[in-house]
Structure 1
Amino acid sequence: MNLGLNQSISQKIEQKLQFKLSQRMQQAVKMLLMSRLDLSQHLELQLEENPFLDEGSEEELDQQGSELEELTNSGIDNVDKGSEENIDSSQVAEELIEPSDPEPDFGWEDFLDDSISPSERLAFEYSETDGRPQDLESHWSLQDSLLNQIDIITLSEREHQIGVAIIGNLDEDGCLAIYDPIDDGNTYQSKVLNPTEEIAKQIGCEVEDVEDVLIFMQRQFEPVGVPFRTTEETLFLQAKAYGVDNPLVTDIITKHFDALKQNQIRQLAQALHVKTDQVLAARDVISTLDPFPGRRFMPSSSKGQSASERSIIPDVALERVEGKYRAIVNDSGMPRLRLNQFYVDMMLNDFKKLDKQTKKFLESYRDKAIDLLKNIDLRRQTLARITEAIFEVQAGFLEKGVNGLKPLVRREIADGVGVHESTVSRATSSKYVQTPQGIYPLSFFFSAELDTDSGTISTTTVKDKIEHMIAEENVAKPLSDQAISDSLRELGIHAARRTVAKYREQLGILSSSKRRRKWD
């Protein structure tokens, strides 16, 4: 039976127009997305890898400007006059930020990946060697601290071995936890094991021996409350070490901690046969203890650090010049890169005397160095332009603070500056600006709008009003979301109850039932 189906293989040639970013353009996009810290690390790495780069002072950089232009446009052998290094920075800028650019054929996720550090700012310390703020503070981990303590305490060889095993199984919070992975073919889970039993099996000793060393470390080691197996255990250890002499605190921690976490104050008072005020007083004491004592050793960019424990260094600062605010990109502490004078002289004066392999080597690193220097300048210009455009709209913030904010979306800035919206997103991602009102993330100044009786208002301003209302509420009768919505309506702001609830959750504020501090 013939169904009339025939298969054949054929070839055909067709032309297809594709947009593909050059290596320099890809680097420019990547550098624009980087935070100040990430950029500093990137420049340090380039300085180490590229012999054509050197570090110089401001005066040396100014002096080398003419040499850079001469080297870029020189008639050196084997240099194509139409090659990329002869494109000036303004042309590079137009190629990078042109709104009408078609979608490139490389993976944008490589450049928009949030894994390029969330760009929290780490604390900076000055080095005694060169006076430059260091990018990363010297990190002394929890394990480092505990191992140092165990090494200076007199213990038997077996006890020392057990102590090291305990330290090696602590997580970043200081909790002793050992898990057994379970793979049933469909899901990957883990089973929590008894840590003292597992350590005893690993070392070949009695569980009581592990318990003895664990208790010894809990009593003698810093930070207080480490190591621990449960949150209740570390809180109890801290309360005991700090001399908290309140049986109610101990009972709540050891017997009723789940009820406390659920804010079941009235039920706790009934179960413990005390007044609600006594439970609240005990809760206030417990709140001074640290459920994650090991986190104080985490880097400043890690979860759990408060703003006071790290220093934020702005990427750009606003300075008033002749009655107008100008954006000044903060380059302090950054590597001041220049071309290595030795190789510059070699290419300008002795290039024809060099062998082919050496010429190729120098040309390759020269191109990379010049591209990097141009991209640094391009990033600086783009960040400054976008920042100034933001505060042309948000000028009211500079005088009035949050109440002066206007609704603003990135598309509006992109249209004003003449760049693509994605360029604005990259330029403002993980960047901080110093203003007369303090240091803020650049992303803070973008927000949607809500209708008011007289027009529109920034949702950031509305959130600020909600936060102030809750801060000033009667803790015995906290404001409900509907009550807040009604109060906003009295101010002429149209925010439904569900909108208020969404903003409250974004602010990390509990519902009224969980904020209540007194009960009848």
Structure 2
Amino acid sequence: MALEQRAELRLTQKLALTPQLQLQLKLLQLPQLELAEFIELQLMENPMLELDDESESDRETELSSEDMVEEPVVVDKLEKIIVDDYFAERADDGRDLGYFNPGVEEKPSFELFYSTSSDLCDHLLWQLRLSRASDKIRAVAEVIIGNIDEDGYLRATEEEIAKISDVDMETVKKAIELVQSFDPAGVGARDIKECLFLQIRELDLENTLVQSIIEEHLEDIRKKKYENIAKKFNVSVDEVIKAVKIIEKLEPRPGRNFSKTQVTIPVPDVYVNKIEGEYQIVLNDEGIPKLRLSKLYKELFTEKDLSADERKYLKEKFKNAVELLKSIEQRNKTIYRVTESLIKFQRDFFDKGISYLKPLNLRDVAVDLGLHESTISRVTSNKYLACDHGVFSFRFFFSNALPSNEGNVSTTFVKDLIQKIISEENPESPLSDKEISEMLKRQGIDIARRTVAKYREELKIPPKSLRKLKIIKEDEG
């Protein structure tokens, strides 16, 4: 069959996002601080925008003046748009958006200007630069360092590192050995046993009772079954206790001292206040510049001696300014409506607390508001809500369902129960995942041990053995 080129016409349909819709979607997913930065940038780039420092009463007086009402701005397809008509849309749905702005400008904390210490990655890379290894091994070692978590453990397999670095397994092993020789002792380990082995190697305790106990009897240490260990290795109980004392002083998380984790208080995007039995939604726009169309540049449209390029420039900037103002308002209205829907679905939570949180997914809210599920996803991303029970991420209110004797319960509620059970456990005898699963089943919540382990990891709670080691080390300290 001969190949040939030819031209043909086809009629197809496809969804094209307009610039204004793209802007609305972008603003929807921006958290408060990033929104403030974006608005500041637009304020510098667009001369049609200026800060609105006037009071609401002054603005209402300005917008009701006859000369403003009768003066339309001619901008391509926006010939019929009057500047004041846009501002009138702010309340066209009869809803008070209840902006929150105390008007008090807080000075930045001096803590923001403190010098920061290097993290674990920087510390390891510094040692790598000082090493005398070959360039090939150093390159692989850099990949390894990039896959070490904040606790100091290597979270990539040798096969994955070899594939990423395009080297043989022998080179990977040498690179891992190099990183594991760095400070702090135990860094680059794959599990707790290897971590402890690396540390006793630094203490010249290899092939000793200490290593044998770590290799086979970590669980017996937790249970203090020293006699069993003594019988196994044919040594005295005193020798076992001496070895255990050494193990207790080892660090199960070698990266702990380099952690940069800081406790930060999220800034709420929405406040939900209960007043006389009803919930009032208040959008927080503190720190977000308030914009309006510039009076000076609006007057330029009446100038008759403007060149074609100047008039085109003004039209473009005016159109962008109007789209930005409308997009900000649309963002605020959408956040307001989503919050209303959350209060509707999670009324028991707002009334009584976390124990009454119900299973909920994005689709439920999307159907309730007549919006697309992706829109709800953007609105609830990186945003926070403050209420009587605390400050919560919007995503906190969405969770899957787990079966119980009284119907389905929220997985968020189950996670909270797991955290509470572990916080109240006996520090000398931490609970295993299986024991927690059995406790929840007695409360009517059917949950498997592996699911408990999954939720515990999501809560960043260490397993039973590490919780026990932590208590031992704190007692020693």
Q: TM-score, normalised by structure 2?
A: 0.68
The CA deviation string for residues 83-130 of structure 1, in whole angstroms up to 9 with x for no partner, is 9999979999xxxxxxxxxxxxxxxxxxxxxxxxxxxxxxxxxxxxx9
2:287 pairs with 1:333: yes
What is aligned with 1:441? 393
Q: Distance in 1 between matches of 2:239 and 2:321?
A: 72
1:413 aligns with 2:365: yes
Q: How does 1:196-211 map to 2 (within 5 A)?
A: none
In structure 2, the partner of 1:178 is 128
Mapped pair 1:496 → 2:448: yes
Is the contact between residue 177 and residue 192 of structure 1 (CA under 8 Å) also seen in structure 2? no
Q: Which amino acid aligns with 2:183?
A: T
Amino acid at match of 1:31: L
- SS of the residue corresponding to residue 46 of structure 1 reads helix
Q: CA–CA distance in 2 between the matches of 1:137 and 1:355?
A: 52
- SS at 1:460's partner residue? helix
SS at match of 1:317: strand
Q: Is the 8 A contact 2:381 2:394 kept in 1?
A: yes
Q: Which residue of 2 aligns with 1:79?
A: 76
Q: Does 1:485 align with 2:437?
A: yes
Q: CA offsets per residue over residues 323-361 of structure 1, 9 Å max, x none?
A: 2112211101111111222112222xx243422221111
**1:465-487 CA deviation, whole Å, 9 max, x = no partner?**
11111222223332222222221
Say whether residues 1:189 and 2:140 are aligned partners. yes
Structure 1 residues 58 and 356 mapped into 2: Cα distance closer, same or farther (>3 Å)? same
- Mark the CA change 1:425 to 1:133 in structure 2 (over 3 Å): closer, same or farther: farther
Residue 475 of structure 1 pairs with residue 444 of structure 2: no
8 Å CA contact 1:409–1:447 kept in 2: the answer is yes
CA gap 1:452/1:68 in 2 versus in 1, 3 angstroms: farther
2:336 aligned residue: 384
Aligned with 2:25: secondary structure?
helix
CA–CA distance in structure 1, aligned partners of residues 186 and 453 of structure 2: 35
Within the candidate set 94, 119, 131, 2:105 is matched to 131
C-alpha distance in structure 1 between counterparts of 2:310 and 2:329, whole Å = 29
Tell me the SS of whatever aligns to 1:391. helix
Note the C-alpha offset of 1:289: 10
1:15 aligned partner, one-letter code: L
* Residue 141 of structure 1, CA deviation: 4.8
Counterpart CA distance in 1 for 2:249 and 2:70 is 75
Q: Secondary structure at the match of 1:328?
A: strand
Fraction of identical pairs, as percent? 29
**Alignment map for 1:453-468 (pairs within 5 Å):** 453-468=405-420
How much does 1:377 deviate?
Answer: 0.6
Residues 470, 70 of structure 1: alpha-carbon distance in 2 compared, 3 angstrom cutoff: farther
Aligned positions of 1:299-314 closer than 5 A = 304-307=260-263, 310-314=264-268
Q: Residue 14 of structure 1 aligns with which residue? A: 10
Give 1:281 shift.
Answer: 7.2
Per-residue CA deviation, residues 428-449 of structure 1 (Å, 9 max, x unaligned), is: 0000111101111111111001
What is the alpha-carbon distance in structure 2 between the residues aligned to residue 480 and residue 516 of structure 1? 11
Instruction: Please say if 1:231 is aligned against 2:184.
Output: yes
- Contact 1:394–1:405 (CA under 8 A) maintained in structure 2: yes
SS in 2 for 1:313: coil
- Partner-residue secondary structure (3-state), 2:445: coil
**Contact 1:265–1:280 (8 Å) recurs in 2:** no
Q: 1:459: Cα distance to partner? A: 0.7
CA distance in 1, matches of 2:374, 2:32: 19
| Change in CA separation of 1:192 and 1:502 when aligned onto 2, cut-off 3 Å | closer
Count of paired positions: 388
Deviation per CA, 1:17-59: give whole Å up to 9, x if none.
2221111110110010101111011011111111111112251
Structure 1 letter corresponding to 2:32: R
After superposition, the Cα gap between the structure-2 partners of 1:375 and 1:505, relative to the gap in structure 1 and judged at 3 Å, is same
Aligned-partner residue type, residue 57 of structure 1: D
The answer for the alignment partner of 1:43 in structure 2 is 39
1:197 aligned partner? none
Q: 1:84 to 1:376 in 2, by over 3 A?
A: same
Among residues 286, 301, 309, which one is paired with 1:357 in the alignment? 309
Equivalent residue, structure 2, for 1:147: none
Look up the SS of the partner of 2:304 in the other structure. helix
Q: 1:396 is matched with which residue?
A: 348
Does the 8 Å contact 2:186/2:254 carry over to 1? no
Distance 1:69 1:465, change over 3 A: farther
Q: RMSD of the TM alignment (CA)?
A: 4.6
Could you tell me which amino acid in structure 1 is paired with residue 389 of structure 2? Q
Deviation of the 1:321 alpha carbon: 4.0
Letter of the structure 2 residue corresponding to residue 131 of structure 1: E
Find the counterpart in structure 2 of residue 66 from structure 1: 63
SS in 2 for 1:456: strand
- 5+ residue gaps, structure 1, are 93-129, 144-166, 194-227, 235-249, 296-303
- 2:458 counterpart letter in structure 1: Q
Amino acid in the other structure paired with 1:341: K
| Aligned residue type for 2:46 | N
Q: Deviations over 1:450-471 (max 9, x none)?
A: 1111211001111111111122
Q: CA-to-partner distance for each residue in 1:273-301, whole Å, 9 max, x for gaps?
A: 64588568746xx79998444x6xxxxxx
Q: 1:65 to 1:313 in 2, by over 3 A?
A: farther
C-alpha spacing 1:490/1:374, structure 2 compared with 1 (3 Å): same
* Separation in 1, partners of 2:81, 2:135: 54
Question: For residue 321 of structure 2, what is the aligned residue in structure 1?
Answer: 369
- C-alpha distance in 2, partners of 1:85/1:9? 52
- Structure 2 unmatched ranges of 5 or more: 91-103, 145-180, 188-198, 230-237, 473-477
* CA distance in structure 2 between the partners assigned to 1:16 and 1:70 by the alignment: 48
2:140 maps to a residue whose letter is: Q
Q: 1:140 to 1:280 in 2, by over 3 A?
A: same
Instruction: State the AA in 1 paired with 2:396.
Output: F
Deviation at 1:505, TM superposition (A): 1.9
Q: 1:56 aligns with which of 52, 59, 77?
A: 52
Partner of 1:515: 467
1:163 counterpart residue number: none
User: CA 1:229–1:65 in structure 2 vs 1: closer, same or farther (change >3 Å)?
Assistant: farther
The SS at the match of 1:334 is coil
Mapped to 2, the partners of 1:353 and 1:473 lie a distance apart of 81
Distance of 1:69 and 1:417 partners within structure 2: 38
